[in-house]
Amino acid sequence: MEANVINTLAAILAISLISTRALWHLVWRPCTVARCFARQGIQGPPYRFLTGSVWEIRRMLVAGREKGPLATGCHDYTSLVNPFFHKWVSYYGKTFLYWIGPIPAICSTDMELVKQVLEDRTGLFQKEYLNPSLEGILGNGVISANGDDWRRHRRIVYPIFNHENLKSLFAMVWDGTQNMIEQWLTQIEKGDGHQTQLNMRPCSEELTLGIIEQVIFGKKYKEAREAFAAGKELQKLAVYAFADPPVPGFRYLPTRRNRRSWKLEKLVTAKVTQIIRARVAEFHYGHDLLGLMLRACRKDAEILSIKEIIGECVTFFAAGQDTTANLLTWGMFLLSIYPQWQQQVREEVLREWPDDGKVPSMDVLGKLNLVCS
């Protein structure tokens, strides 16, 4: 009899604790987060129990697909690709709060502002103001770190952008672009009437991949290419995860996509770890991003863990490669449908930098107003 009473009381206590924790995550915490942001002028779509903004996001995505592809010359791509951002920016401004289930997420063009808002409340928000799916896209690096972790990561990564390193980066871009243009010229010469069709997308991807590879690792590695290929697939899977059911912990369930993501994450970790071990064994760190991080860790073993170093490599690849490739492809597309602008850009480049066979200096970029606008 006493055992039954004890078991019953234990069950009631367990249910009570679970219910209390569920209410905290699903009701109290989202409402508290929304009030904290509202007091600082950051609004957003209202939180809906359990689902948050997910169903509204899905509805707008389906409606956008039904409209079909963009017409040639139409630049309103945000309304098709991210209709929810397009709508909420018009309602709430360029920084707003929305909900992936009960998890708060922030969209902003000024992440420094977001970090400043969050710094005083890291205990409440921790890292969850970013969609958990974004970690698969951006990696666990300087972009997703907060507070002291962010300052620690930034202190190590920032030197890669000093003036001397940017000059060497400029030379990498120049060499890579020249090689790509030479390949185009070869295809044109072989084409009918010295004309040919070029698919700009794979060209942009290969160009940016080669440059990012040198920035991170200093040279080409077979392991790096394999890690980058796995990273590209991880990015696609992470995008699909935005439409997952808004169930807490769903990303930990052994679904087919989740199992594939875990396998790819292990592959990326293993390949980058191989490169790190080889670099450490050589006692030659180099002046690339990986070398800077390894050199810093040699002075202070606690400054970055191996996992964080791998996260920074993933972050730089995700943030630098795909976005730049998209920009190049879109820019070439616009120049092709607006020949008058193409002519003006060509005249500006030839005026500020005559083609004398020399690599242009970085100062030239500041004079290319049309190109940089």
Residues 18-34: tens digit of each pLDDT? 567 767 777 788 888 88
Give the single-character DSSP code of 194.
G
CA distances from 29 to 32, 42, 96, 124 (A): 5, 17, 17, 8
* 36-52 average pLDDT score: 85
Whose tokens are 């083609």? That residue is: 355
pLDDT confidence of 126, banded at 50, 70, 90?
very low
Q: Determine the Cα–Cα distance for residues 361 and 46; give it in Å rounded to an integer.
A: 51
Using pLDDT thresholds of 50, 70 and 90, give the confidence band for residue 5: very low
Contact indicator for 68, 24 with CB cutoff of 8 Å: no
Q: Where on the phi/psi map is residue 7: left (φ > 0), alpha (ψ -120 to 50), or beta?
A: alpha
| pLDDT tops 70 at residue 118 | no
SS3 at position 197: coil
Report pLDDT for 125. 46
Decide: 106 and 129 in contact? Cβ < 8 Å.
yes
Query: Which residues share a beta bridge with 52?
Result: 100
pLDDT score, position 120: 47
CATH 1.10.630.10 domain span(s) along the chain: 158-337
Tell me, yes or no, if the pTM score tops 0.75. no
The neighbouring-strand residues paired with 107 are: 96
pLDDT at 326: 87
Decide if pLDDT at 9 tops 50: no
pLDDT at position 136 is: 60
Q: Would you say 276 and 290 are in contact if contact means Cβ atoms under 8 Å apart?
A: yes
Q: Are 157 and 312 in contact (CB under 8 A)?
A: yes
pLDDT at 107: 77
Q: Can you give the C-alpha Rg of the chain in angstroms?
A: 25
Q: For 209-248, what is each residue's pLDDT tens digit?
A: 888 888 888 888 888 888 888 888 888 887 777 666 656 6
Quote the percentage of the chain above a pLDDT of 90. 3
Note the pLDDT tens digit of each residue in 183-219: 888 888 887 777 788 888 889 988 998 888 888 888 8
Mean pLDDT, to the nearest integer, of 253-278? 88
Q: Is-contact 212 239, C-beta < 8 A?
A: no
Mean pLDDT over 2-7 rounds to 51
- Mean pLDDT across 253-258: 85
Has residue 122 got a pLDDT over 50?
Answer: no
Q: Which CATH class is domain 158-337?
A: mainly alpha
**How much is the pLDDT for 250?**
72
Averaged pLDDT, 117-137: 51
Checking if the pLDDT of 111 tops 70, the result is: no
Q: Tell me what pLDDT residue 150 has.
A: 75
Check residues 272 and 65 and name the one with the higher pLDDT. 272
> pLDDT band at residue 128, thresholds of 50, 70 and 90?
very low
pLDDT at 4: 55
pLDDT in tens, 135-192: 666 666 777 776 677 777 777 777 777 767 777 777 788 888 888 888 888 888 887 7
Confidence (pLDDT) at 105: 78
